[in-house]
A and B are shown apart, each in its own frame.
Chain A
């Protein structure tokens, strides 16, 4: 498993929801008691797709996955390689405000 830095998330001290950094108040309860924290950057692949009619400016195919990290934090991530197996655990990193699945090193 690739070594990757932890992911920044937000915890709501009112309802204990955990979510990715998000504009505005807690999306679950509307509280402003939000605290930045971190979770390990490894997550299980819940769903994946290959877009063959991608949005303008994206290559075809463009691959996306929904991942679930600890604390039930879900992440929409770009996959710049073969789609990972559903149910497998992958590393994820945030680069330039985009989440990407970290591909295994060649060899």
Chain B
């Protein structure tokens, strides 16, 4: 494919006073600084619901103008909470095909302007109408997935706690994280119940933030090895299996096939843990563990920074924060930074050669897998 991430910018997550456009441009400027401000001829912007959350539309043109990308091509991409990954997946083939020399991909969300109950209502619009009619919420459906998973595989709730504890421990090394403090299992278990078995600390938080990266037609340590995407039935109950996300499984298969690689050649991953049980499913769905085995990996430390397969060294969505439209691109940017040796205190114990980012849109209805790795050329 011969396209590589040559620079990345990631902003601070949490409550931010800036506008969505300013957050997008802040991340964009950092990425452009990384390539010495060379000109870009394509801008791809993503946010999930900027019109509703932040009252702004026509974002690509506004960002292009504010960043001085005079007459570059540009457009916006949307795929619910996987919007950031979708922007990357839209840009890569355009650059690979030679239509553009250099693309700037930026994704962000500004959520904290709205009351949290209103944010929850907007997020729930991604669900099926029948689910909304029954009073289902994102955490409610995630809790049903967790309920089935724990029962089917005889796993205790301590596995969910372990995901949060690991995420928060990693986030403590991420200078941009919304929650840069470690928590104990007891603190997780004592947090407010949201949708049992899920408690507050098993659920991601409303957040503002953005990330950006530059794509060029070149080889490098963060080359694009393979992309995969799949949708699934919008109603959870219509899917063949409640304890996996088929859209991730199919996306991962497509990404591995495109990369002509297997799961065994991947060194680490940034996984979509908007709710703690998702991390268990994700690890299984990308083929690193078998069904029902993800829990043990989180409980025995195999997913730690120095473990057998590091997961979410940036703190994941649980620790980093979840500006929904940004998270899919944040994951890819953090994988690229690990591969490029730019992760600072977040660097995993062994310098990786290949990394995977997995993003979930909606309640697992629109998922993306991105494989990055060293494609030669040596340059960073």
Contacts and interface: CB of A to CB of B under 8 A. Distances in A.
Interface of A: 19-20, 22, 27, 46-58, 62, 64-66, 74-78, 86-87, 97-99
Interface of B: 117, 120-121, 124, 130-137, 139-140, 143-145, 147-148, 151, 192-198, 233, 235-238, 242
Contacts of B237: 20, 66, 74-76
A52 B194 contact: yes
Contacts, number: 96
A27 B134 CA distance: 20
B144 A55 contact: no
A50 B197 CA distance: 8
Contact of A99 (B134, B151, B195): B134
Contacts of B148: 46-47, 66
A96 to B, nearest CB: 10
Given A47-B147, A78-B134, A27 B195 contact: no
Nearest to A78: B134
10 contacts: A20-B130, A20-B237, A27-B233, A47-B242, A49-B143, A54-B140, A55-B132, A66-B236, A74-B242, A76-B236
B135 A62 contact: yes
A55 B195 contact: no
Contact of A50 (B121, B195, B233): B195
A50 B137 CA distance: 11
A66 B130 CA distance: 13
Given A19-B238, A49-B147, A54 B135 contact: yes
Nearest to A46: B148
A76 B196 contact: no
Given A27-B238, A49-B144, A78 B194 contact: no
A22 B237 CA distance: 12
A51 B144 contact: no
